[in-house]
Chain A
């Protein structure tokens, strides 16, 4: 039994709730990422051991899903919605502006960990298209000019 000082102890309650069952792998990965920010190799190894799964099965599964990260998240996360409603109402121009202003390609993260740029396929609030999410705030009916101002306000 892991003790409080054991590595990744914060994961214990979740593992316990799922009785360390293999079919809870994705739930456990969600929890692990929430606790530790990203899925590092030692963390994945720990999950594999506790669920008694092969390492490649754990990494193979985790890497299948877009939402799992294998490196620490950037301090600011810029996400452009590219759902159909956003796409036809200006998402491509927003992406182009962000790529230019941040000096980043879509899907990339700045080397210094300041900011990352990614897309999401529909946030589900299409009446406000096009949408951009930066960290926890959502910008509705975003314009390129408004977005550029918003980017300038990002803390370094």
Chain B
């Protein structure tokens, strides 16, 4: 493995040649906001929060999948990017029903945190107020579609880590929805191992432990990376 040197927000950064801009930035202490990205899962570059400007490239690039290259000059927090990020967060808030005050994840929600970081004191776009259901059929967990931002972390963790592939995204566009099995009640899907990883990685209050009430969901999605590291170490051990 060799090293690449690049510049991120005026800082010289050395990083592994197979690193992404996001990894290089984090190593250097530069925080780029993310939502769909989660260490341990394949990247999908769907939320567009981590878009950055790279000198010499007309298009904005998602830091989560853009590999570093020698001499790259990256800007992660220009006024243009900050305006884009606020709009992304507003689009998410207005397309669902994110009522923080009565959410299990209130105070421990990545979406809520991002909103503060991008300076969203109100949404400049009108709220859509979609009519979305809640699935409480699983004995231990619940799914509130009102709070789902379609980051697909649950789909990926169930497929890539647990191997059960209970979840998938169904339908299209604004009608996209996470489904279990054949769009069945979650509790009716045999493939579910009740492992709870989907709940663990969910950035909002969309997936939750039954019995948790307002503000009581305290998940730490970064536990996934720790789990995978431990698993990897075990497999590598002689």
Residues of A within 8 A of B (CB): 41, 44-45, 54-60, 63-64
Main secondary structure of the interface of A (DSSP, over half): helix
Query: In the complex, are the beta carbons of B182 and A58 less than 8 A apart?
Result: yes
B191 contacts the other chain (CB 8 A): yes
Given that A54-B191, A55-B189, A63-B171 are contacting pairs, would A45 and B165 also be in contact in the complex, using a CB cutoff of 8 Å?
no
Q: Which residues of B contact A58 (CB under 8 A)?
A: 182
B36 contacts the other chain (CB 8 A): no
Given contacts A45-B182, A55-B191, A64-B172, 11 further A-B contacts (CB under 8 A): A41-B182, A54-B168, A56-B166, A56-B168, A56-B179, A56-B183, A56-B189, A57-B168, A59-B170, A59-B181, A59-B183
A54 vs B170: C-alpha distance when bound (angstroms): 13
A54 vs B183: C-alpha distance when bound (angstroms): 12
A58 vs B165: C-alpha distance when bound (angstroms): 11
A64 vs B164: C-alpha distance when bound (angstroms): 21
A44 vs B166: C-alpha distance when bound (angstroms): 15
Residues of B within 8 A of A (CB): 159, 164-172, 179-184, 189, 191
Query: In the complex, are the beta carbons of A64 and B170 less than 8 A apart?
Result: yes
Query: In the complex, are the beta carbons of A56 and B171 less than 8 A apart?
Result: no
A54 vs B180: C-alpha distance when bound (angstroms): 10
Q: Which residues of B contact A64 (CB under 8 A)?
A: 170-172
Q: Which residues of B contact A41 (CB under 8 A)?
A: 182
Residue with the highest number of chain B CB atoms closer than 10 Å, among A41, A44, A56: A56
Q: Which residues of A contact B179 (CB under 8 A)?
A: 56, 59-60, 63
Query: In the complex, are the beta carbons of A56 and B181 less than 8 A apart?
Result: yes
Given that A56-B166, A56-B167, A57-B165 are contacting pairs, would A44 and B182 also be in contact in the complex, using a CB cutoff of 8 Å?
yes
Q: Which residues of B contact A55 (CB under 8 A)?
A: 181-182, 184, 189, 191
Q: Which residues of B contact A59 (CB under 8 A)?
A: 168, 170, 179, 181-183
Closest 3 CB pairs of A and B: A60-B168, A56-B168, A54-B165
